[in-house]
Amino acid sequence: MACFTMLLLQLLISLLLISLSHGDHCPLQLDPQRAVVRYGGSVEVTCNTSVAHKGMGWEASEGGVPMTKKQNLITWRVSELTEWDIKPFCYINPNKGAQCLIELPVTVYKTPDSVSISTVNHRGPMIEGQQYELQCDVHDVAPVQYLTVKWYKNQTRLNQTTFSDTDKTPENKTVTLLIRPDRDDNRAQYWCEAELDLGAEGPQPSPKYSSKPLSITVYYAPIIQFCRDWSPLTGTSLDSYPLNLYSVEGNPHPDISWRHKSSPVRSSMPLTRYDSGLYEIIARNDLNNVSCFMNIIVEYPPELNCNKSYEVKEKTPFKLPCKADGLPKPEYFLYKNGKIIQHDFYPNWNDSGLYQLTAHNQHGTSNSTFTIKILHAPIIQFCRDWSPLTGTSLDSYPLNLYSVEGNPHPDISWRHKSSPVSSSMLLTRYDSGLYEIIARNDLNNVSCFMNIIVKYPPELNCNKSYEVKEKTLFKLPCIADGLPKPEYFLYKNGKIIQHDFYPNWNDSGLYQLTAHNQHGTSNSTFTIKILHAPIIQFCRDWSPLTGTSLDSYPLNLYSVEGNPRPDISWRHKSSPVRSSMPLTRYDSGLYEIIARNDLNNVSCFMNITVEYAPIIQFCRDWSPLTGTSLDSYPLNVYSVEGNPHPDISWRHKSSPVRSSMLLTRYDSGLYEIIARNDLNNVSCFMNITVEYPPELNCNKSYEVKEKTLFKLPCIADGLPKPEYFLYKNGKIIQHDFYPNWNDSGLYQLTAHNQHGTSNSTFTIKILLAPIIQFCRDWSPLTGTSLDSYPLNVYSVEGNPRPDISWRHKSSPVRSSMPLTRYDSGRYEIIARNDLNNVSCFMNIIVEYPPELNCNKSYEVRNKTLFKLPCIVDGLPKPEYFLYKNGKIIQHDFYPNWNDSGLYQLTAHNQHGTSNSTFTIKILHAPVFYDSQEKFVMEEGSNITLECNTTGNPEPEVWWSFKNRNISTGGRHFNIERATSTSAGVYTCSATNKFGRNDKTFIVEIKALDYVFPNYILIVVVVFALLAVIIILVVVIWRRRKSSGHYEIGLRSEMQPLSNGSL
């Protein structure tokens, strides 16, 4: 019995030590103090002490370490832990004091096999404003008390759920989330995340497993945020309505239709110029339809419809005769001869011609060419004397001898001796005199006087024969009637001779007299008989052929003249000789030839040897063309005879000249022609004047002041002296004239003689003071200089070319200076040359690209009108576009609380674009995000209420329960070990200066069957056993006292039970 009692006491003491001994008083240290192990993973924890002991060890269902006395550090190891609810503890038996132990908290975890998200009872697109339930399934995870399931939309956390389950084995958990999507949620991605937060001893970072994202499609009715007026080009369809002029949103994407004048319009129909008006654009999908109105002005390129010709009186205003139909209203440019001119002007009589009118707008250009005929009274610029040929009519008066202008074209009439003359009448030699030419049209008439000398060809009337004594003056026996006075040429034997001469005895014969002027030639043939005594001018030796009679004595070896014709007789050796007697070789000698007529007789002696020296009977002056050789000296202007025939050579300036040499204009002068044979040589002198075609050497350009006499600037070198003709634009003009300022241009001078023509083209620049015909307003881009003032907006004439300068606000301005936006205003352009200066005023509006100067941030109250916060400086006035998240939005709008964010404002005009990015903060009362609002939990659970709120300014948050505040400042409210008194309605309140908002959470607590705590039972049992032991000790003590002496002692050590428990 005593033994049993001692054993029982030992057991009770052990139980008491187990139930009451803890780490606070136990000299043991665990490292780590808590173990977190993945299911199936390894674990290792050390237990050490710094006190003397009788033994220490690890007690565990896996990896227990037997008690050891020699070590102060022992390790609990498990290589593959598979027990979910293991509770190892380290114990020690110190030398002093009772046995104690420390239990190692062990958490065995398993990450989820999968995390998935789905919609509950719904498939397909969602409708804006309706409520839907999302479900997140987490499979096979442990322990769930460390599990947090979080909900996300894109990257924004919406809600999170924790669990109070104490079960340590794997479980499946399902969490739901109620959403009410709007259009901003279209294509949003929802996803859930399971996170095991195992504390500092667990893996870092905490394991997180996410579902695949669930992308939702939200259908919503169309919205037309704005639609702006449009100015398309004709031929454009409504399908081309620019995206930056309207904003339509809707899902499904709205179908767009159009209405005009209350009737549907096909959007693909090309618009015409007649389709402008108010249009309605309609956006329609399955949920609703909306519309918006805008004005559409159909623009089109200009179209000119001009007549081919217009008439206008001189010096009356001419305005554009035809207007272009075009939108925008076109700009007009009038051209003549390729130069732009002012289209409203007062024309002069010489402004008639071909004009081109151009109408231009931004969509195209239309050209029309027409003739402007300037109606003006006749003008006779000049009329010159005329020398027509008889038989010519006044209608043939040459155009180069007079200049008549007028519109309508003047009728021409004539007067002579104060009487009208028919212009078709053929003029006779008796009609010469002073004539008046009259030019007449409906506006006036003018006249001009000139001398007309009627010319006619010569006419000779000569006798058939004339006689004259030798060496008496012979003059032309007959004179020709002709105008101009004819020139006379007298020919004998085809050779020209002097027509007034003293004839020698040998000049008798047939003569031809020719009278010539420019209109014709008259010829008359007659005989001149020279009465004279015989003359033997010479008789030369002769070398006749044997058998030749003296009758054959060559006439070229002697010269016998006489009138009447002398008889010829011969004497040889003082004896008469018959002239018919054939000569023999023995008849050579001195012969006497005797010439006899009624007046006298003469004789001459010669050796008859037949041969004789050359004779040049005459040589006349010659006027060859340059390039002609002396070999071409005409036979009719010289006579050379000789036997043997003489060779011809030439000399000039005492030097021999080759006869084949081509003569130049510099070879004129006195030449000597030499005739030479074996017997002798003779020479003759004549003047050779080398003629040549004219050659002009003019400069390329000449300058002459306006209205000063212009004479031919260059003279042609030519022989005979050339005649000159001056042309401009293919028309002959007077070559000495008084030019106007607009007579500058290209001229051609022609010099002509009988040998050729020379042309020279040159420019005549008329020096005139500057003229500014017009200058128009200009809108340049900033940075442009005045040097860039366009040529088509002003017209400056002047020669020398005027220098251009500028003035602004009465001060000179450098034309190269880049203009700034502050330089707009009235400017004066000044054209100046050496003759004068003129100026013209215009307005210059300097345009520049937009420039935005915005703050980095703006605040605007929820649902109050937001207007553009920063104004751009730009010209022309820029157009504005506001973007958020890359989408264009209306820039004046009423923002919602969730419209805060980053915005981009773009300002654009034709010169550039400026961008500015800023943040818009929407000031609004607090709002709450979706989160779990109802909790049904078991008693003893931990509950976290989440109040996800936002507001601007940041709201103040507090919690209330049963009408009293229970917490302030936190967005999470934790209920630990919930009891039935924790059930009820919890209110989260958020407030800022713009308002207050409340959100309620319902908490329901489910009651559990009561389980008496183990530690209370143990304490009760221990105290009961102590009471029993005390009673037994008292009883034994009494017995021993009554029966003898006993010792009762406790065992000095406590041994572990076989199952490892104390």
Q: What percent of the chain has pLDDT over 90?
A: 51
Specify the residue for token string 């207050």.
Answer: 996
How far is the C-alpha of 636 from the C-alpha of 621, rounded, in Å? 11
Q: DSSP of 765-783, one letter per residue?
A: EEEEEEEEEEE--B-PBTT
pLDDT tens-digit series, residues 524-563: 999 998 888 888 888 888 887 777 888 888 888 788 877 8
Q: Residue 1, exposed/middle/buried by CB under 10 A (0-12, 13-18, 19+)? A: exposed
pLDDT band with cut points at 50, 70 and 90 for residue 1043: very low
**Alpha helix (H) ranges present in 856-990?**
none
Please give the pLDDT value at position 1051: 30
Helices (H), 237-300: none
pLDDT digit string, tens, across residues 774-795:
899 999 999 999 998 998 888 8
Give SS3 for 220. Answer: strand
Model pLDDT, residue 962: 83
Residue pointed to by tokens 């017995």 = 1039
Q: Tokens in use for 924?
A: 């609004």
CA distance 923 to 918: 16
Residue 101 CB burial class (10 angstroms; 0-12, 13-18, ≥19): buried
Taking all residues of the chain, what is their mean pLDDT, rounded to a whole number? 87
Mean pLDDT, residues 155-166 taken together:
90
Confidence of residue 476 (pLDDT cuts 50, 70, 90): confident
Query: How many Å apart are CA 488 and CA 493, to the nearest integer?
Result: 16
pLDDT at 1048 over 50: no
The pLDDT tens digits for 962-1001 are 878 887 767 888 888 888 888 888 899 999 988 888 889 8
pLDDT, greater one: 610 or 360: 360
**Helix, strand, coil content of the chain in percent (nearest 5):** 10, 50, 40
Nearest residue to 507 via CA among 524, 490, 487: 490
Q: How many residues does the chain have?
A: 1062
Q: Judge whether 46 and 73 are in contact, CB under 8 Å.
A: yes
Cα distance between residue 962 and residue 951, in whole Å: 26
> In sequence order, what are the residues at sequence separation of 6 or more whose Cβ sits closer than 8 angstroms to the Cβ of residue 999?
928, 933, 947, 949, 987, 988, 990
* Residue 585, pLDDT score: 67
pLDDT over threshold 60, residue 1062: no
Strands (E), 809-955: 811-813, 825-832, 837-844, 848-851, 857-861, 873-875, 879-884, 887-889, 901-909, 912-928, 934-938, 943-946, 949-952
Tens of pLDDT, residue by residue over 411-450, are 999 999 999 999 999 999 899 999 999 999 988 999 999 9
The yes-or-no verdict on residue 692 having pLDDT over 90 is yes
Contact 787, 815 (CB under 8 A): yes
Return the pLDDT at 83. Answer: 92
pTM: 0.41
What is the average per-residue pLDDT within 505-531? 89
| pLDDT of res. 612 | 57
- Is 866 in a helix, a strand, or coil? strand
Band the pLDDT of 22: cuts 50, 70, 90.
very low
| Banded pLDDT at 1041 (limits 50, 70, 90) | low
Structure tokens at 390: 């008889």
**235-282, pLDDT tens digit by residue?**
999 999 998 999 999 999 999 999 999 999 999 999 999 999 999 999
Q: Out of 37-41, 205-209, 887-891, which region has the weakest mean confidence (pLDDT)?
A: 887-891
Spatial neighbors of 294 by CB under 8 A, at least 6 apart, are 227, 228, 229, 230, 245, 246, 278, 279, 281
CA separation, residue 120 to residues 123, 136, 931 (Å): 8, 10, 17
**How large is the average pLDDT for residues 762-770?**
89
pLDDT of residue 547: 78
